Amino acid sequence: MPLFRKNLITVSLLLSVFPGISWADRVDVPVYVEESLGPNWQSMTIGTTSTSTSGMVPPVAHGTRSIAIGNNAVAGTEIEKPQVGEAIAIGSKANATKEQSVAIGADTNATGWGSVVIGGDDIRPVHGKTYGRLTIPNAFLASTASGTGSVAIGSRTLSGGELSLALGSIALAKGDASTAIGATAEAQDERSTAIGFNALSMARSALALGSESSATSESAMAFGSRAIAGKSSSIALGTDAVVSVGDNNVALGAGSQDKAATSVSSASVRSSDGRLVTYQGFAASDPSSVISVGAQGKERQIVNVAAGAVTENSTDVINGSQLYSVAKSLQDDINAVTSAGFALKDQGNNEVRQVSGSAIQITGDDNITTTATDSDDNKSLKISLNDDLTVGHDKAGSITVNNAAGNSSISLNGGDGTISLTSPAASGDTSTTATLGVTTGQGGLTDADGTTKTRLIYTPDGSSEPEELASMNDGLSFVGDDGNVINKKLNETLSVTGGAGADAEMTDNNIRVDNREGGLRVRMTRNLRDLASAVFGNGDNITTITDNGMSVTTGTGDNVRTVSLGKEGLNNGGNIITHVASGLNGKQLSEADGDTLTNAANIGDLKSALQDTTSALVNSGYGVQADDGNKVTRPLGEHVSIAGDGRNITTMVQDGKLLVQLSEHIDTGKNGSVTVGDTVITDEGLSITGGPSVTKSGINAGDQVISGVQDGVDAHDAVNVSQLNQQINNATAATTWSLKTESSDASVAVSSQTVEVKHGLNTRVSAVQTDDKGNYSYEIDVTGIPVEYTDSKGNPLVNIGGKFYTRTEDPDSGNITLSPAEPARVRISSDQPLVLTSVADGAVTPESVDAVNGGQLASAGNIVAGKNVVWNNGKATLSPDTFSELTTADGSNRTTTGTIQTVPDNVADAVNMLNREGTKYFKASSSGPAAKAEGRNSVAIGQSAISRAENSIAMGNGAEVSGDAAAGSVAIGSGSRAGRAHTGNYSLNGQVVAGRTGSNTPVMSFGQAGQERQLQHVAPGVLSAESTDAVNGSQLYAVHRQTEGNTQAINNLGKKFDHLNDRVDELNRDIRGVGASAAAMSGIPQAYLPGKSLMGLGVGGYGGESAVAIGVSRISDNGKLIMKMNAGQNSRGNFSVGAGVGWQW
């Protein structure tokens, strides 16, 4: 078959699919389909047919069934197997180069085999915007899928690895099988996954899930906003959780941070007799990693902790109740184990008992195996679940999984091989039940008649007739008018195309689909409506019909002629109109009337009319009609006089011509006007449309420039711009004045007048300064006032607008910085001593901070030297003529001796010294808020210390005893809080304890929640039934040493029982953990569409244990290969992984 291409113009299908299509567009943008059996068989292009100067290039499609739509679009240019082909490029400059690659969107690139890209290169509105820790770069980068089987969806999105997926603007999936989902998400290495805005997965098999999360090492996992997993196989779970120290470390909870694991192989304590006892052989003494649930200063309590195993090799965490149990019943357990041995019970509450030292044999059944190990370093009983489980022996077995309410949710029925599913009951409704089974059913769509297949059957309510479930391969069949059948699987796409472009205008009312004989028939109406145009023919003969009429174009090049018939009439395009019948229909021209007068005439009608007209002209003469409708008629050869009105129009004969002249002075009367183009002259004046006007009201320039204006002379003359500029310059010179300050002899000319600013009382004026913009300024400083405000450190303050600031000047730049400050003191800044006069009486009380005047000190006048006290050569003695003894307040006499100290001679100095130096045994260095003793007889010591309860003491900066605390409560230490006493159980098992109990018990606090303190150097308290002394760490250690021997005795006596009990319990919990892991991993959904990937999370629970799992699945583009991988961890700390691959046909 010769090579050829076919230009498709399918009118009906185009109209049905694209209602707004225009025929003219279809001519400019044709659809080409290659029908030859060559390498480009059935390839299709839609776009321009020639290269233009604007850069438009026709689309190119190489390879079988490849498609290129859009100018400059390229499909299949690098295919290696043309028979595979099927590359698709849709959009301007879209580029799909490899086999089965798909590029959708302008400037997109799909360069890998089977790659898919949807997007573009422009997100300009967000350039430069910052989102969290990322600023969107100002760049244009085409979305590209370059890896085999890779997918890139989003603007500027890149998927470079094989089977990689990038979904979101600026997302990057670089590694093989990597996944990046979210704007700016990046998956850099193979099998790495990043999900969330700006999530980063930088290493092999790393997972980052959450906005701005980061997993940078192999197999690391980061879950949560800004979570960082920076070490190999580490896990960071929670917002801002960080693992940055060690491999395999785990950070759990928001803000948690890991730290290095510490090796603890031994511990040494000193016994009461002075011997140093070393403990060693700890289980897991050399940990490889850590689990952190907080950070330094942000620690968390681990609450609701189940009881951990207490065995020789146990590494479980123990809770408070276990410690309580050991301390409470240690001696009782020793006696019970010694005398009673041990016993085991089954589920039926049947008991088997054995004396201590003997064993009870534990056996399994068909599903459980028990194995005993008896060696020096390993004595254990292992209970294992068999790999192959059998339910039902003499009768059909079943397995039931209950829901949270204890009702059956899933049931495996061994009798009939069915699976029963029951949904949870909705509020006020009943549960829904369905049964799944298998049966032999009908063959598939493409199977031969009589073929059967194994089918899943579905019984909706468990009792109705079962229904067969179709598979993806069953599909549907389609047939057209040609009788050819198209079989499509359920996951395949049936393409119904019309060939019109996506932007073409279409119509909705000309195509109808009817149900005829079990099929759908596409029908076109007889009367087409809502059409923009219709084009018939091609090449040199094209007929076009539009709503404006019809046109016929023939010929090529310079010989093109177009005949058009439309609303404006007929344009015959320079062609001859032939075979025209007589328009008179056999009548004489003078007899024509009605519709005959609008008929077209042929050459014969014209010839007859000329002959009749010549005769009529000769006989009928001629006439002249005026504007008023009156006529004057004269035979040929006679004259008609034509005269003007004598005012505006005159007539004359000159050189054989009749001249009609307009007078030089036109008079149109009061209501007349003269119009010349856009200019109109009436009795009101002259006006120009869109321009100036000159009327009785004046001159309106109409927003136009008036040029050529001479200099105005008289008072009412117009002035021009040059005159205006001159006046402005004159006015500027007249208003200029100079400014001069007392600090400078020079004056600055800022006006024709001079204003001088002089120094004032306690003020000084600076010189006038000029900045780089020509602005003038000066400063007025306050001087001569001998006092100034200072802050608590003595730094001088300035007062601006009632607010105080410290002033700092940069010596290099000269810049001055003002910082808000609180005034604390007033300082005398004079070099000479000054007297402060007119001081009002200040309050003289213990709380007063007022200044006192000389009058208030007069009461101390009798203690001035020379009156009651005599000063003699450096010694002070009492004057005997005034009094002979000194009596104290209680009436007794006192003799005072001691070292002579310097004593302030005025109250102000004494107060200042007390504040500055304190007393001999009390010092304080603080300038903060004062302490407050609000409770009756309470004491508060320290900055901001508050004691609100009666007889309470708050000692330390910020220490507080709350108002609801019991009387006599104490808070010691900075930030300590003492409130109401904690209430609860004060004793163990009802034992009598000494000391006061209840909420009214006074409290002594050394800290507050989150800021506790160690109480060190505590002497041993008395240990007795009545003692209320505090005990120290050494006493607790002595108790530990006392109980250690007892614990060893219990371990030796009941070792076999302990091992058996612990192993059974551990195995039971491990088995339940396995069930929870299986439920979580099986609950993860799986991808079900070809070429799609799915990542899911699953949770599960069984018998009180729980698990969480994450999984990834993918189906190949042809839907035949299915891959699945998942991993999970249960509450027992066991990690499970699973992977599978399947081939379906």
Please give the domain boundaries of the chain with CATH numbers for all domains. 404-424+431-474 (no CATH), 537-571 (no CATH), 790-828 (no CATH), 908-984+997-1014 (2.150.10.10), 1058-1143 (3.30.1300.30)
Which of 228, 262, 258 shows the shortest CA–CA distance to 246?
A: 258
Q: CA distances (Å), 732 to each of 41, 266, 736, 769, 982, in order?
A: 87, 96, 6, 22, 85
Provide the 3-class DSSP secondary structure of residue 589: helix
Backbone angles phi, psi at 476, to 5 degrees: -135, 160
Report residue 372 as tokens. 């005993």
1111 φψ region: left (φ > 0), alpha (ψ -120 to 50), beta (else)? beta
Alpha helices in 918-1031 (DSSP H): none
The residue type of 1020 is: P
For strand 109-110 and strand 144-145, is the pairing parallel, antiparallel, or unpaired? parallel
Around Cβ 71, how many Cβ atoms within 10 Å?
A: 22
Report residue 138 as tokens. 């100002």
Report residue 910 as tokens. 């004494």
Backbone angles phi, psi at 72, to 5 degrees: 70, 5
Around Cβ 381, how many Cβ atoms within 10 Å?
A: 18
Q: Are 389 and 402 in contact (CB under 8 A)?
A: no
Which residue pairs from 339-345 have beta carbons closer than 8 angstroms and sit at least 24 positions apart in sequence?
A: 342/1054, 342/1057, 344/1060
Q: Are 1114 and 163 in contact (CB under 8 A)?
A: yes
pLDDT tens column, 787-797: 677 887 778 88
CA dist., res. 1054 & res. 337, Å (int): 7
Instruction: Classify each residue of 1004-1038 as buried b or exposed e, where b means 16 or more C-beta atoms within 10 Å of its C-beta.
Output: ebbbbeeeeeeeeeeeeeeeeeeeeeebeeeeeeb
User: What is residue 368's predicted lDDT score, i.e. its pLDDT?
Assistant: 82
Predicted TM-score (pTM) of the model is 0.34
The residue type of 32 is: Y
User: What is residue 21's predicted lDDT score, i.e. its pLDDT?
Assistant: 37
Q: CA distances (Å), 1102 to each of 405, 1074, 1079, in order?
A: 13, 8, 8
Backbone angles phi, psi at 790, to 5 degrees: -135, 160
- Overall size of the chain counted in residues: 1145
Within 13 A of 1065's CA, how many CA atoms are on the CB side?
14
User: What is residue 112's predicted lDDT score, i.e. its pLDDT?
Assistant: 92
CA dist., res. 171 & res. 189, Å (int): 14
Which residue matches tokens 């190119």?
60
CA dist., res. 552 & res. 534, Å (int): 12
CA dist., res. 665 & res. 674, Å (int): 12
Which of 795, 787, 904 shows the shortest CA–CA distance to 836?
A: 787
Got the DSSP string for 655-724?
TTEEEEEE-SS----TT--EEETTEEEETTEEEETTS-EEETTEEE-TT----SPPPP-STTS---HHHH
Give me the numbers of helices (H) and strands (E) for the chain, helices first please: 8, 86
The DSSP secondary-structure symbol of 591 reads G
Angle (nearest 5°) at CA 75 between 69 and 78? 170
Residue numbers in the chain where pLDDT is lower than 50: 1-28, 859-867, 871, 874, 880-900, 906-908, 910-911, 914, 919-921
User: What is residue 204's predicted lDDT score, i.e. its pLDDT?
Assistant: 93
Which of 115, 169, 165 shows the shortest CA–CA distance to 142?
A: 169
Report residue 79 as tokens. 């295919």
Partners of 222 in the β-ladder: 208, 236
Which of 509, 542, 543, 541 shows the shortest CA–CA distance to 525?
A: 509
Got the DSSP string for 239-264?
TT-EE-SSTT-EEESTT-B-------
Q: Are 5 and 29 in contact (CB under 8 A)?
A: no
CA dist., res. 347 & res. 335, Å (int): 27
CA dist., res. 982 & res. 600, Å (int): 117
Q: Are 1073 and 1081 in contact (CB under 8 A)?
A: no
The residue type of 116 is: V
CA dist., res. 893 & res. 1069, Å (int): 86
Backbone angles phi, psi at 1042, to 5 degrees: -65, -40
Burial class (CB in 10 A: 0-12, 13-18, 19+), 713: exposed
CA dist., res. 201 & res. 221, Å (int): 9
- Give strand ranges (E) for 929-1045: 932-933, 939-941, 946-947, 953-955, 960-961, 970-972, 977-978, 1004-1005
CA dist., res. 608 & res. 612, Å (int): 6
CA dist., res. 509 & res. 774, Å (int): 76
Q: Are 44 and 61 in contact (CB under 8 A)?
A: yes
Report residue 727 as tokens. 């006046």
Report residue 610 as tokens. 């000329």
- Tell how far CA 750 is from the center of its chain: 58
Q: Are 54 and 31 in contact (CB under 8 A)?
A: no
Provide the 3-class DSSP secondary structure of residue 820: strand
Partners of 454 in the β-ladder: 440
Provide the 3-class DSSP secondary structure of residue 1143: strand
Which of 852, 859, 956 shows the shortest CA–CA distance to 911?
A: 852
Which residue pairs from 744-750 have beta carbons closer than 8 angstroms and sit at least 24 positions apart in sequence?
A: 744/768, 748/776, 750/776
Which residue pairs from 1127-1131 have beta carbons closer than 8 angstroms and sit at least 24 positions apart in sequence?
A: 1128/1077, 1128/1080, 1128/1081, 1128/1098, 1128/1100, 1129/1077, 1130/1073, 1130/1074, 1130/1076, 1130/1077, 1130/1080, 1130/1105, 1130/1106, 1131/1073, 1131/1076, 1131/1105, 1131/1106, 1131/1107
CA dist., res. 267 & res. 1006, Å (int): 30
For strand 134-135 and strand 116-118, is the pairing parallel, antiparallel, or unpaired? unpaired
For strand 102-104 and strand 88-90, is the pairing parallel, antiparallel, or unpaired? parallel
For the chain, state the CA radius of gyration.
Answer: 54
